[in-house]
Amino acid sequence: MRYVVTGGAGFVGSHLVKLLVKNGHDVTVIDNLIKGKKENLSHVIEIIKFLNLDIRDYQELRKNLMNIDGVFHQAALTIVQDSFERPEEYHEVNVLGTENIFKLANENNFKVVYASSSSIYGNTTTIPIHENSEKNPINPYGVTKLDDEKLAKKYHNLGLSVIGLRYFNVYGPGEIFKQTTSSMILQLAFQAINIGKVRLFEFGDQNFDDILNTIGHPPFSHAFKCNVTLPGDTSRKDCGSGIAGSTPCVLVVKVSLLSPTPILKKQNQNNT
């Protein structure tokens, strides 16, 4: 199969590229390298086709999104704090750029898997979060991702086969640590290893002891996968299940083997 991965030099995209290559697919990466790094693809760069393109450039995209089976659309601006300072640019890249992909997919009859985000939910009061939970984004980044889902529905109604994945805290090998913008897991690991303390938020009727007692039970004691397919209709898949907000902190404490001291704080409703 012939696939294109936008944002393929980024953290998530580069892992996807490697998996597609491993499975024998013909892969083209589109990335403007503003955030992505070509070295993330060093192990496969001689096998894939790499294009330094911006997804806002419709004409260049049009030249290169032909005779393919599908696009994994990962390209986006993703820093929540940054989106408050550059809302117009976030809209251009995340919404108009995404619509360029959807337009060409509809025109050239290929399938699309695109990255949505848990940010579309905002500060939900319903736990666990479900696919049909209320969507109320509280920052410009979240608004752009909700707009993408509306676009997906629009183009599905025109015949496009498209699916969106609502990412929560994505983490793993190759993630670059930045104290204010890294995933929660990486920030907690940094705190545990380098500071000896991790900050935990306590809320509702949940407390630290309750969380510790759940660690030995599924799904916390087992790894699980979310298998993604390309159905004929539009869909959004929440990968995982409703895990209490503080549980990842406990996991970091346990795997670090350092017995860091937890710092319990009441969670402010505005924390994200």
Residues that are catalytic: 141
> Who contacts 99 (Cβ-Cβ below 8 Å, separation ≥6)?
151
Is residue 56 a contact partner of residue 33, using CB atoms and an 8 Å limit?
Answer: no
Closest CA to 188 of 250, 266, 259: 250
SS (H, E, C) the chain: CEEEEECCCCHHHHHHHHHHHHCCCEEEEECCCCCCCHHHHCCCCCCCEEECCCCCCHHHHHHHCCCCCEEEECCCCCCHHHHHHCHHHHHHHHHHHHHHHHHHHHHHCCEEEEEEEHHHHCCCCCCCCCCCCCCCCCCHHHHHHHHHHHHHHHHHCCCCCEEEEEECCCCCCCCCCCCCCCCHHHHHHHHHHHHCEEEEEECCCCCHHHHHHHCCCCCCCCCCCCCCCCCCCCEEECCCCCCCCCHHHHHHHHHHCCCCEEEEEECCCCCC
Contacts of 184 (CB under 8 A, 6+ apart): 169, 171, 248
